[in-house]
Amino acid sequence: MRMSKRFGLFAAAVAFTASTAAVAAPTFINVLTGGTSGVYYPIGVALSQLYGNGIDGARTSVQATKASVENLNLLQAGRGELAFSLGDSVDDAWKGNADAGFKAPLNKLRAIASIYPNYIQVVASKESGIKTLADLKGKRVSVGAPKSGTELNARAIFKAAGLSYEDLGRVEFLPYAESVELIKNRQLDATLQSSGLGMAAIRDLAAMMPTTFVEIPKDVVEKIGSPVYQARPIPAGTYDGQDKDVMTASITNMLVTHENVSEEVAYQMTKLAFENLERLGNAHSAAKGITLENAVKGLPIPLHPGAERYYREVGVLK
């Protein structure tokens, strides 16, 4: 009888320990961003802090990456829980566009939200003499990391403008900060970067030397033939020396997760983001463009059930 009682107590203790361990198991949230000098990174850091403080048992981290394409491939492989990406890259990933860097359709991806627009920002040193897209012919230009969202945007813009990489004097495949440093050192003439407005590296360049922001005309944007691209101006005064609006192309950024993230975690990630928009805007001014009204617009992939639950709760979805 005593042996039976002891065994029962032992079994109960084991069961209690196991259940406690299960409850206490940490929730890992790795936020995939972009280069540290871009916009994704500081907003990703702010989200990571919100999740670490607001989700019970969450252990968060922020990973600097080559941005959109790498982020989506990492999500598909389960090596992250939340990622930033350009909308056109998300669309290419879902379809499995090999030319865009996706060997097969990434069918595990799920949307959290459409957030702020990226602007295609073509900036040249004033001494290069570049004033229009046609002036890029024969010049030294950086177009972003290979097969990054920025580089895919560069291909689309150049094609619509009747240009190709072969028309350029030299093409460098470099991210934001490296591109800007080469322009400062007069080793590059211009760079095309896809980012939120007020991006740190371009702000630094415009403060250091005279620059020209090259227009992408509305008719060129329309020739791309994708609803993901919209013609929008970079407002005057966004950067030093930029004293008038500059028309360009914009693309919506998205927050993306994958199907193996639990409904509750995805719900909390969505809720905490939209309940703390002021804090995200303080992390980077580009995040001030995030609105709840636009959160479910233009999504090329299914919403995660956790995000959908939040949007129904707040009335964005009926």
The full set of domain ranges for the chain reads: 26-116+253-313, 118-251
Please tell me whether the overall predicted TM-score, pTM, comes out greater than 0.75 for this model: yes
Domain pair 26-116+253-313 / 118-251, same fold = yes
Token pair listed for 112: 């959290």
Q: Give per-residue pLDDT as tens, 40-87.
A: 999 999 999 999 999 999 999 999 999 999 999 999 999 999 999 999
In a 10 Å sphere around its CB, with 0-12 CB exposed, 13-18 middle and 19+ buried, how is residue 159 labelled? middle
d(CA 156, CA 160): 6
Topology of domain 26-116+253-313, per CATH? D-Maltodextrin-Binding Protein; domain 2 (3.40.190)
Q: Give per-residue pLDDT as tens, 110-124.
A: 999 999 999 999 999
**Identity (one letter) of the amino acid at 125?**
S
Please provide the CATH number assigned to the domain covering 118-251. 3.40.190.10
- In angstroms, what CA-CA distances link 316 with 37, 105, 270, 273? 33, 29, 13, 15
Lowest average pLDDT, out of 108-112, 296-300, 301-305, goes to 296-300
Average pLDDT over residues 263-274: 98
Q: Give per-residue pLDDT as tens, 223-244.
A: 998 878 889 999 999 999 999 9
Average pLDDT over residues 277-295: 96
